[in-house]
Amino acid sequence: MATGVLEIRGLTKYFGGLRAIDDVNVSISKGELVGVIGPNGAGKTTFFNLITGFVVPDGGEVLVNGVDVAGWSPHRVVQEGVSRTFQITRMFSSLKVIENVIVALLARKGMGILSSSRAHVEEASAILERVGLHDKIGLLAGSLGQGDQRKLELARATATKPNVLLIDEPFSGLSLKEVEVLIPLIQKLNKEGLNIVIIEHKLRELMRLAKRVLVLNFGRLIADGTPEEITNDEEVVEAYLGKERGNFGAP
Amino acid sequence: MGKYVYFALALAMLLVAPMFIKSRVIIDLLILCNIYAIFLSSWDLVGGYTGQISFGHSLFIGGGAYTAGLLNYYFQVPPYVTIPLGGIVAAALALLIGVFALRVKGAYLALVTFAAAAVPVTLTAIFWEYSGGDDGLSGISPLSVDVVTRYYLSAALLVLCGGILIFITRSSYGLVLLSIRDNETASMAVGIDVRKYKVITFVISGFLAGIAGAFYCHNQLHVGPAELKPAFSVLVVLMAVAGGMGTIIGPMLSGYFLIFLNDWLRFSENYKMMIYTGVIVIILLVCPRGLYPAIASGIKRVVHK
Amino acid sequence: MGLLLDIVVYGAVQSGIYVLLSLGFSLTFGVAGIFNLAHGTFYMGAAYLFYSCMNSLGLGLSLSLVVSVTGMGLLALIIQKWFINPVIHSGISVMIITVAIANFLEQVVLCTYGPVDRNLNSFIDKKLLVLGTVSIDAQRMLALGVSIILLAVLYIFISKTKPGRAILAVAQDREGAIFVGIDPLKVFFLVIFIAAILAGIAGDFIAPTIGARPDMWLKPLTMCFAVVILGGLGSLTGTVLAALIIGYSEVIVSFALSSYMSELVPFVIILIVLAFKPSGLMPARQSQT
């Protein structure tokens, strides 16, 4: 039995009578960059919430390097190596950009509260430089534009030294130019060894990044394959467009 | 670097005050100011700085006061033992309450702590034979018969407690607290054990308040339910907010200002409290962020002209 | 058996008063999303205003009732307009300013009337025999009767009248309500007015049995808090159920142990809820994270 970096078995969640996530099974292997798509309300963000501890599952396992973190509180899941970003960016808006990253550093085990703050600043600066925000480190996070906020969220998430990074709709609300800056950044992070799972609605951009795509609909995983495979999958097309076949993934 | 100048100045003023002020009454007031400065700033650590508004501070202040009072009254335990013990008892209370209450957020926390604050007074009523009921316990040992000595003791306590608070808030720990206040979900998402930080901070705040409460008991030579009632918690919150939530310094300053105001209003015994509480309402309306931020930004504007 | 009946009747009276008091508090939260910590002041203020109307102004029972209760309604509108609305975006600021006002008004009352408890005369100075064996003040039964009637009136108002349904709409979905032309701010005024009226009536009817004190706004607040935490987020049925539970628990503890111990009931209930189910007795609509 292959154990990936992230193994999800029988993940289930009910909200009232509604099955938000219905018996989802996925295995993410080392080095993968996987996309997650699905119509609105399919349960994509709930899926992330269940993995990262923001919502408690009703059933199933979430194995991170063999450890079942299902139902753990978010900070413990982060300690175990899974970090996430949010669909609507959650900055520490009243803190400076560099402080946003420093907080993430402070949370790491072994990176004590009492250790030198100069070390914190140095490491945070390095991280911010990697995402291209080194010229904005002194600004208040709340004053950043959308594109920069996404970069900051990525920086913050990587500061926790995760094994797996879940990115929730990184391109939403961004201009074409901003998207073009973000794509190579995500690719770089993946090449450096970070396992990435991305939720996105912008299918064209997602297909450029992900060689494997999961499709959720009504909480169920209805397809799992390459972009070509899923664009031709009847059930997937039906989920997005009703019963008509149409141009899928094209403008 | 400018900040340190102000601290040094404040410390200097604190130290030399008795040399210039000969009136015993005013020195007594200054002692009270120092004590209240600790009451208010210790609340601010949790309320303003971490963003967790608690109406339960009377539990810690009163808890510390009654610990000292009971130990001293029945067992003649001296102040230098009762005061730290007062802090420890208050810290234990904070741990107990915090573990439950800090599960809930924002407004609900305020409600829960308010309800909790109503409990000890009922207990003093139930066990009136030991607690002295409404009259409390009198004849508590003084800290010193000399008012100037008492003043320096209170100043030392303020420097100690205030120092701890300022050190915490200026450190990385303080940054984490600010992140929790700013966006708790994001804090969790970067791996911060938010609940642990809240509880620990609550305990620290309770400890300092308890010490100050115990000190207060020995200063007043009396302990009674007045500092244990939810109404006192309300006053602490209002005085601290009027000073400036989240600034630590602001509540210290408003403590000074309001204690002196309260004393000055002595001329009108009947209307004193009405005017006093009315002034607080006005401050809250006119300077929603508190007196200290309002004055500080006012000074900045004048200096930059 | 006699004791059981005593509990049934006294519990009903206590719960009735609590329903009147907590409904308004819960409603303001459910509709406007704010905790008005001056809510207890309506209860206290009505009692004192009633006292003055009866004794200083000699207005007679009905008129005093109307004046005192309406006076609280007006106070509520003033508080909403000048103190709550400017900071309504921040729940914490609303709590702080309303508690500051409550604090101030307590001192106003203290200055005006002095620290001695004021005693009001019961409307009907008799003792009744209820359910065969229970001896109880007519005043308390009156209070119970009024609670039941007002609860029914409120229910009809909310479900059948246009303003009532507007209240429901804003409580359920503020954006949607705006969309269909309802002005939430007007609804907030209405809700706090109703809250004050209910609390004021509670104050008028129960003050004859317990006396009026300037600090009588604090204990009811603790009870309202327990009701909201037990009854869930502004759910009306939950509020009534929670008030019943708390009212009866207090009476039972009062009979079994002591009335001092019964003061601890709201807190103990909060503790139990926190320990087991922080989302309250009647959870509102399930929300996605």
Looking at this protein, which amino acid is placed at residue B252? M
Residue B230: closest CA among chain C residues belongs to which residue? C218
Alpha helices in chain B (DSSP H): 2-20, 24-44, 57-75, 79-101, 106-126, 128-131, 147-170, 172-182, 184-189, 194-220, 230-244, 249-264, 272-286, 291-303
DSSP state of C279: T
Q: Is the pLDDT of residue A1 over 50?
A: no
What pLDDT, on the 0 to 100 scale, is given for residue A110?
63
Using CB atoms and an 8 Å cut-off, which of residues 270-289 of chain C contact chain A? 286, 288-289
Residues of chain C with pLDDT under 70: 1, 232-234, 278-289
Q: Which residues pair with B223 in a beta bridge?
A: B137
Here the ipTM equals: 0.90
Would you state the pLDDT for residue C234? Answer: 59
The 8-class DSSP code of residue C288 comes to -
Shortest CA gap A20–chain C (Å) = 9
Residue-by-residue DSSP string for B180-239: HHH-HHHHHHTT--HHHHHHHHHHHHHHHHHHHHHHHHHHHTEE-GGGTSHHHHHHHHHH
Of the partner residues A78, A90, A102, the one whose CB lies closest to the CB of residue B175: A102
Identify the band that residue B154 occupies on the pLDDT scale cut at 50, 70 and 90: very high
Q: Mean pLDDT, chain C, as a whole number?
A: 86
pLDDT of residue C7: 87
| Buried-state track C7-36, b at ≥16 Cβ within 10 A, e below 16 | bebbbbbbbbbbbbbbbbbbbbbbbbbbbb
**Maximum distance among all Cα pairs of chain A, rounded to whole angstroms:** 61
Residue B207 has pLDDT above 90, yes or no: yes
Nearest to B60 by CA among B34, B28, B38, B76: B38
Residues of A contacting chain C (CB within 8 angstroms): 15-16, 20, 45-46, 49, 54-55
Q: Are B239 and B251 in contact (CB under 8 A)?
A: yes
pLDDT at A3: 66
- Which chains reach chain A with 3 or more Cβ–Cβ distances below 8 angstroms? B, C
Q: Which residues pair with A215 in a beta bridge?
A: A37, A223
Per-residue pLDDT band at A251 (split at 50, 70, 90): very low
- The separation between CA A148 and the C-alpha centre of its own chain, rounded to angstroms, equals 17
**Contact, B242 vs B283, CB < 8 A?**
yes
Could you tell me the pLDDT band of residue A116, with boundaries at 50, 70 and 90?
Answer: low
| Mean pLDDT, residues B4-12 taken together | 85
Give the global pTM: 0.90
- Find chain B residues with C-beta within 8 A of A107's C-beta: 176, 190-193
Mutate to test the interface with C, among A13, A14, A15, A84 (most CBs of C within 10 A): A15
Say whether A92 and B186 touch across the interface (CB within 8 A).
Answer: yes
Which positions in chain A touch C286 (Cβ < 8 Å)?
Answer: 15-16
- 8 Å CB contact of C263 and B116: no
Backbone angles phi, psi at A63, to 5 degrees: -100, 120
Residues of chain C contacting A55 with CB distance shorter than 8 Å: 289
Task: Kindly report, residue by residue over A60-94, the tens digit of the pLDDT.
Answer: 999 998 899 998 999 999 999 999 999 899 999 99
Provide residues of B within 8 Å CB-CB of chain A: 171-173, 175-176, 178-179, 182-183, 185-195
* Inter-chain CB pairs, A–B, below 8 Å: 84
pLDDT at A246: 47
Q: What is the pLDDT of residue A250?
A: 45
Listed ranges A228-237, B204-213, C82-91; the one with the highest mean pLDDT: B204-213
How far CA A167 is from CA of A80, A86, A132, A180, in Å, comes to 17, 7, 18, 16
Chosen for mutation from C39, C92, C215 (greatest number of chain B CBs closer than 10 Å) is: C92
Contact check, Cβ <8 Å, C288/A15: yes
Q: How far apart are CA C229 and CA C279, in angstroms?
A: 8
H/E segment holding residue C134:
strand C134-137
Give the nearest partner residue to B175 out of A84, A103, A108, using CB atoms: A103
User: Which chains pack against C, by 3+ Cβ pairs within 8 A?
Assistant: A, B
Nearest to C260 among B100, B122, B241 (CB): B122
- The C-alpha atoms of residue B53 and residue B55 are separated, in whole angstroms, by 7
Length of chain C: 289
Q: How many CB pairs under 8 A join B and C?
A: 105
Query: For residue C285, what is the nearest residue in chain A, using CA coordinates?
Result: A16
Tell me if B175 and A99 make a contact (CB, 8 A cut-off). Answer: yes
Q: What are phi and psi of A19, to 5 degrees?
A: -85, 100
Find the CB nearest B277 among C93, C103, C226.
C103
**Contacting residues for C22 by C-beta, under 8 A, at least 6 apart:** C223, C224, C227, C228, C231, C239, C242, C243
Lowest mean pLDDT among B3-7, B176-180, C59-63, C120-124: C120-124
Alpha-carbon distance values, B84 to B87, B110, B117, B151, B205 (Å): 5, 27, 22, 18, 14
Per CB-CB distance under 8 Å, the chain B contacts of C278 are 103-104
Average pLDDT over residues A114-123: 77
- Chain mean pLDDT for chain A: 87
Chain B interface mutation, best of A80, A90, A95, highest count of B Cβ atoms under 10 Å: A90
Please say if the pLDDT value at position A200 is more than 70: yes
State which residue of chain C sits closest to A54, comparing Cα positions. Answer: C289
Instruction: State yes or no: pLDDT of B211 exceeds 90.
Output: yes
